[in-house]
Amino acid sequence: MKPNLKNPLRVAIAVTAFALGGITSQAQVLNDWVSSDLLIGFRASGGTGSSDSYLINIGQGSLYDTNKGSFPLSLGNVGSDLAAKYGNDWYSRSDLFWGIFGTSTNTVPILYSSVARTNSNVQSTPPPNVTSTAGTATQITSVTSAFNLLSATANSTNAAFQPNTASPSSYNYQVTQSGTDFGSVSQWNDIQGNLNQILDLYRQSTNAPSWRGGFSLNNAGLIAFNPTIVPEPSTYALLGIGAVLLGAAYRRKANPKESSGFLF
The DSSP string of 197-243 is SPEEEEEESSSPPEEEEEEEE-TTS-EEEESS----HHHHHHHHHHH
In DSSP terms, 234 is beta-bridged to none
Q: CB count, 10 Å around CB of 146?
A: 20
179/76 Cα distance (integer angstroms): 34
Rounded Cα gap, residues 260 and 57, in angstroms:
58
Give pTM, 2 decimals: 0.80
Whether the predicted pLDDT of 137 surpasses 70: yes
In this predicted structure, the answer to whether residue 19 has a pLDDT above a threshold of 80 is no
Outline where DSSP puts E strands in the chain. 37-44, 52-60, 71-72, 96-103, 111-116, 159-163, 192-194, 199-204, 210-217, 223-226
* pLDDT at position 250 over 70: no
C-alpha distance from residue 5 to each of 9, 26, 27, 29 (Å): 9, 18, 15, 9
Q: What is the pLDDT of residues 191-246, one digit of tens each?
A: 999 999 999 999 999 999 999 999 999 999 999 999 999 765 543 343 344 444 44
The helix (run of H) or strand (run of E) holding residue 141 is helix 133-147
pLDDT per residue as tens digits for the range 55-99: 999 999 999 988 889 999 999 999 999 999 999 999 999 999 999
Output the CA–CA distances (angstroms, integers) from residue 168 to 111, 136, 195, in the order listed: 17, 12, 24
- CA atoms of 81 and 153, how far apart (whole Å): 7
User: Within 13 Å of residue 182, how many CA atoms lie on the same side as its CB?
Assistant: 32
The answer to whether 56 touches 78, Cβ cutoff 8 Å, is yes
Using an 8 Å Cβ cutoff, are 53 and 45 in contact? no
